[in-house]
Structure 1
Amino acid sequence: MKKHFKVQVVIVFVIALLINSSASADPNLTMQWGLENKRFFQETEVPADASSAIRAQAKPGEALYRFFQINDYYNDVIMGVFRRFHESWNKYSENKSSDVSIVKKEFSGYLRRNDPRLSSIIQQMAPTVYFDFLGDSGVQYVLQEIEIKTIRFEEYAGGGFADNEAWYDIELKHLEGIYKYPIGGKKLRFTGSGRTVLRFWSDNYYESMGMAPMGCYDIDITFHFFVNGSRISISSGRFKIDV
């Protein structure tokens, strides 16, 4: 009888461990997010067809989406930035490479060396969005990958820029599809809660201009974390952003 009792106790103990292990392997994770760059951008809510070029009125019952949109101050500043940018581009392009990816990287470096003020202004004018994560206390979360679904892209007549200086610089893809951005050596790690900021650029790059025409991106961002030996994910849902 005593042996049988001991076996029952061991079984109950093992079951309790399994239950606790299962609970900790599926931690909670919530996310609050919003516009970080409020100097040059504003947040509105618009229907799916709206953009900075198209003012679409929402129909009764139509879904509205968060839209991080350039503001009036951006429009006031951008023409002077364009003029200064083109002067530097014309000097640089006399000996530029024909490889678009090389051009973007090298020209960004050229600006930082020869016109650091312009380089700084371009970085300040890029759209940035913060993401605050709240998980279980005592649990470590490690960001492994950012996945972005491009739902739609509408090109504007103006221009944008390319760079890679922020915590996570994301070059959005203007063709519809799902794109993965491995984190590599810049893994966000936090216990309980953490924050990251994404700064966005466009891949719709025109080599002859040295820039990418600005456009409205409809995207959905998913963050993939490694937690307690398993992978958990959290998504923003669809939103719109001028890049």
Structure 2
Amino acid sequence: MANSKSGDSSLDRLVRILSAFGADAPSLTIGALAVRANVPLATAYRLADQLLSHDFLRKDASGSLRLGLGLWELANRSSAALDLREAAMPFMEDIQAVVGQHTQLAVLRDDEVLVIERLSGRDSVVNQARVAGRLPVHRTSAGMVLLAFAPVHVQEAYLRGHPNAFLPSETGLADSRQALALVRGQGFAAFNGLVDEETTGIAVPVLGRGRIAVAALGVVVARDEGKVHSILPVLLTGARGIARAMGEHVD
């Protein structure tokens, strides 16, 4: 594709346009979109028109732009995340029925936790995780599990790239390496108040070959309910079931 005067390609600009939308900005005016995507206004108009014609963007009642269903359709035709979600769903439904709180599935992506699926009940506690949303690795139990059971070079790259990544001092595990070693040694992560003060996140790895985590399976429950060890067997059973359903074999 043709390059702009700044040297970036049309594809680069299209990706920035689509990536500008998020949980904090599900709807954008063309002017705001141009700013967030760092493209000239005329370019934003031109690319938005092209994306609208393919239903990758759509206009809402106010005339602002939103992501369109065309993207969803394209992503769901062939997706590793979809395969993982389909394998996990029966086990997640069982866990959610037992625990009665948020049950979620996540993977490690670009140094962040990417939420693949979340099931919630009517009386579930507050939870900032959203499907297709991202959270910091070192501020979630799922993230700590994913990193603890990642290859060593992935751990080292994360720690080098995030030298200030550490857990709150009240966990007693302010040192990241100490925290990862503990999580790997015990086989799960359970932390209070990492994202929301009143909740506890509990997560276990879905292990693949070489005991590397292909995903994290977790729940978010009310803090200080003392449920960690009663919930762990359900999570561990579900994680093993997901691994088998995906054809993963733990060494």
TM-score interval for Structure 1 and Structure 2 normalised by the shorter chain = under 0.3
Provide the TM-score with structure 2 as the length reference: 0.24
TM-score between both structures, scaled by the size of structure 1: 0.24
Higher normalized strand content (fraction of residues): 1
Structure (1 or 2) with the larger CA radius of gyration: 1
Higher helix share: 2
Q: Which has the higher contact order (CA 8 A, sep 6+)?
A: 1
